[in-house]
A and B are shown apart, each in its own frame.
Chain A
Amino acid sequence: MSWWSFPWKEWQRRPLRTAITLTGVAIALAALFSLLSFQHGYRAGLQHELDKLGAHILVVPKGCPYDAASIALHGANWPCYLKSQYLEEVRATPGVSAAAPVLMAAFYNEPGRQTVYAGIDTNILSLKRAWRIHGKFPQATNDVLVGADVARQFKLRVGGQFSLPGLEKQNGFVAGIIDPTSGPDDGFVFLTLSSAQALLGHSNELTHILVRLKDPNQLEQVVGQLRGCDAGLYMNIVPLAHLFETIRSVVNSARVLMGCIAFVALFAAMSGLANSILMSLNERTGEIGVMRALGASRLQVGRLIWSEAMGLCGAGALLGCLAAFGAARFIESWLRSRLPFAPSEPLIEWQFWIVAVCLAISLVAGTLACLAPVIRVTLLHPMEAIRQRNT
């Protein structure tokens, strides 16, 4: 028999009470685990999106809605346009390493399924350094470069032809296919900029310009210069890192809500734990007295009660983490349907340190919850305790 096998036997004495207490702790820790995993996953997802975009600054038309970055990232129809001539001014700005013009539009070929077209030129390759292209970059009017998902959906091969979805009587020649990027690019159809402008009826117009800097540390200076140039009056200069920070602060409200739920659940669970231990102590006062008579010190009986609570908290934390891990897919889809912007990467990303933090919080909260019962048991006079058993 050891100090740790003793609590295990105590839990078996009242299995229903133990199960209810354990469930309470597990629910609270599942909420906490989900919150921390979401926080980590969301931050990592945003950073990944930024890295995949390859741009430090997004230039959009003045008056463009705030979620321009979301449109640029995930593809949709744009409500306003930039003139192509602004591109030269952007490129001429000191500190700009590359500026890639894009004209983007989306067509719904089936209900709920859109095809995103993006007109680009070779400057995009300076930004999308992770792209691996089978075939070649589109050069001719009908050439298209397709993302991996599009190629799979329409069973496309390099050199093949296909009818461009959403565009009547327009065929594309598959010049190249991009290897899977695990990002929105997988679902895009890329054309030459001039072809896209002709096809979409926006000659000499762009939806946005992706700008990469020579030194990302000079972001503030370059943004200032872009805003100060002649075309700056007609352009909205959006530093993407700032934008993602803003998105994160918008999402903070969701996080605070989840945090509140986790806190309330933890508080309720720990109240339940304290109550459960107090009830158990009430029933076992005589036994505690006997233990004291047999030579248990105040510290030892306190340790017994504490270890019972710690066992419950530890088991509850692990169960909670497992439950949250199991329900991650459901939580993820629920979050995606409610967040203003969700990166394509998984939103819930668990790490071992998150499990460790949950375990630590559970043990600390458990220690606080059992403080009163432990103090009470250590103050019990052995004779009084034994007398309670006999009455």
Chain B
Amino acid sequence: MRSPPETPAAVFARDLRKSYRRGREEIEALAGVSFVINPGEFVAIVGPSGAGKTTLLNLIGCMDAPTSGELRIEGTDVSGMNDQERTRFRREQIGFVFQHFGLIPTLTVAENIALPLLFSGKAKKDRVGLLLERVGLWPRRNHKPSELSGGEMQRVAIARALVNEPKMILADEPTGNLDSQTGEQIITLFGELQRSGLTVMVVTHNDPLAQCADRQIQLKDGRTL
């Protein structure tokens, strides 16, 4: 494995390990994973269930700290960060998209998109409007999530992930709850995001989505193949 490149990689992982305790049993979810993802790359993380895909995504998304190993995001070493530092980093650098959309049912489409701005303390009303236009949901801006289709909900989630202008989008099974036609629309949207310069990492079981990626990282039993 090379040393970190001079132009920082979007993600640089070296011998990344993560283990959990479940009662007395220790589970090694990641057992020494190493890879580099370049800025603007579209990468699919694939593998069977229990391979450690979501654990890896959560580590890259600064939702958790690795047990050991080195992890650099956009040149910043995040492996030793505390919870507060990880939260700030996540808020500024990373956008999350979930399989179950993760929309707040009491908020409207526009409010859901604006939610991360509340946490970052930024007031960017124009940005919300632009994103609503970009994902084609401007006419639905005052609707509640319960009034939207699955595809529309995932587009809201993607717009929300983009509102803080992150450098990287992480998506965990973004088409997992969608029919194939709607899934294709979402895949197209991820392609557009990559072309706009964002680094996109997707955990997926969906072959068409994985095929769309520049590269696939295959995981099995917590290791890259």
Given A293-B90, A297-B87, A389-B100, answer yes or no on A1-B107 (Cβ-Cβ < 8 Å): yes
Which of A5-13, A25-33, A341-349 contacts the other chain? A5-13
Q: How far is the CB of A303 from chain B (nearest CB, A)?
A: 10
- Name the A residues within 8 Å of B164 (CB-CB): 295
- Select from chain A the residue with minimum beta-carbon distance to B91: A295
Nearest B-chain residue to A8, judged by Cβ: B106
Encoded as 1 (CB less than 8 Å from any A CB) or 0, chain B from 99 to 124 comes to 11010111100010011101110000
Known: A294-B116, A381-B64, A390-B99. 14 other contacts (CB 8 A): A3-B118, A6-B118, A287-B102, A287-B104, A290-B98, A290-B102, A292-B87, A293-B63, A295-B92, A295-B119, A297-B119, A298-B83, A389-B100, A390-B100
Q: How far is the CB of B146 from chain A (nearest CB, A)?
A: 12
| Inter-chain contact A13/B115, CB cutoff 8 Å | no
Knowing A290-B102, A295-B119, the reply to whether A9 touches B107 (Cβ < 8 A) is yes
* 7 A/B residue pairs, CB under 8 Å, sorted by A: A9-B106, A293-B90, A297-B119, A298-B83, A383-B58, A383-B64, A390-B99
Q: Quick check: is B155 within 8 A (CB to CB) of the other chain?
A: no
| A296 contacts chain B at the CB level, 8 A cutoff | yes
Given A293-B90, A383-B63, do A13 and B160 touch, yes or no (CB 8 Å)? no
Within 8 A of A (CB), among B43-91: 58, 61, 63-64, 83-84, 87-88, 90-91
Across the interface, do A295 and B106 meet the contact criterion of CB distance under 8 Å?
no
The reply on A187 being an interface residue by CB < 8 A is no
Is B102 touching A386 in the complex (CB atoms < 8 A)?
A: yes
Q: For the complex, what is the distance from the CA of A371 to the CA of B101, rounded to whole Å?
A: 30
**B115-A294 in contact (CB<8A):** yes
In the complex, whether A382 has a CB less than 8 A from a CB of chain B is yes
Name the A residues within 8 Å of B102 (CB-CB). Answer: 286-287, 290, 293, 386, 389
Interface size, A (range): 20 to 34
Q: How far is the CB of A386 from chain B (nearest CB, A)?
A: 7
| 10 tightest Cβ-Cβ pairs between the two chains A and B | A295-B91, A290-B102, A9-B106, A296-B119, A295-B119, A294-B116, A293-B96, A297-B87, A1-B111, A13-B106
- A291 within 8 A of partner (CB): yes
CB pair A291 B119 closer than 8 Å: yes
Within 8 A of B (CB), among A122-146: none
Residues of B within 8 A of A3 (CB): 118
Tell me the nearest residue of chain A to B104, going by C-beta: A287
* A300 interfacial by beta-carbon distance below 8 Å: yes
Q: Which residues of A contact B116 (CB under 8 A)?
A: 294-295
Contacts of B120 in A (CB 8 A): 295
Q: Is the CB of B90 within 8 A of A295?
A: yes
In the complex, residue of chain B having the shortest beta-carbon distance to the beta carbon of A381: B64
Q: Name A347-391 residues within 8 Å CB distance of B.
A: 381-383, 386, 389-390
Is B63 within 8 A of A382, CB to CB? yes
Q: Interface residues, chain B, CB within 8 Å of chain A?
A: 58, 61, 63-64, 83-84, 87-88, 90-92, 96, 98-100, 102, 104-107, 111, 114-116, 118-120, 160, 164
In the assembly, what is the distance between CA of A290 and CA of B90, in Å?
A: 12
| Contact present for B100 and A1 (CB under 8 Å) | no
- Per-position binary interface string of chain A over residues 303-329, scored 1 when its CB falls under 8 Å from any chain B CB and 0 otherwise: 000000000000000000000000000
Q: A107: shortest Cβ distance to chain B, in Å? A: 70
- In the complex formed, the residue of B with least CB distance to A284 is B104
CA distance A144 to B114 in the complex (A): 81
Query: What chain B residues lie within 8 Å of A297 (beta carbons)?
Result: 84, 87-88, 119
- A263-298 vs B, Cβ < 8 Å mask (1 yes, 0 no): 000000000000000000000001100111111111
For residue B204, give the distance in angstroms from its CB to the closest CB of chain A. 16
A169 to B91 alpha-carbon distance, docked (Å): 96
* CB within 8 Å of B: which A5-50 residues: 6, 9-10, 12-13
CA A12 to CA B83, docked complex, whole Å: 32
Q: Which residues of B contact A286 (CB under 8 A)?
A: 100, 102
Asked if A300 contacts B105 (CB within 8 A), the reply is no
Nearest CB in chain B to that of A389: its residue? B100
Q: How far is the CA of A296 from the CA of B64 in the complex (A)?
A: 14
In the complex, what's the smallest C-beta–C-beta distance from B4 to chain A, in angstroms?
Answer: 25
Residues of B within 8 Å of A298, CB to CB, are 83-84, 87
Instruction: Kindly provide the distance from the CB of B117 to the nearest chain A CB, expressed in whole angstroms.
Output: 8
Minimal beta-carbon separation of A26 from chain B (angstroms):
23
Residues of chain A within 8 A (CB-CB) of B90 are 293, 295
Q: Which residues of A lie under 8 Å from residue B111 when comparing CB positions?
A: 1
Minimum distance in angstroms from B49 CB to a CB of chain A? 13
Q: Which residue of A lies closest to B84 (CB)?
A: A297
Residue pair B98, A291 in contact (C-beta under 8 Å): no
A3 to B123, CA, bound (A): 13
Tell whether, in the assembled complex, residue B160 and residue A294 are in contact, meaning their CB atoms are under 8 Å apart: yes
Contact B114 A1 (CB under 8 A): yes
* B106: chain A residues within 8 A (beta carbon): 9-10, 12-13
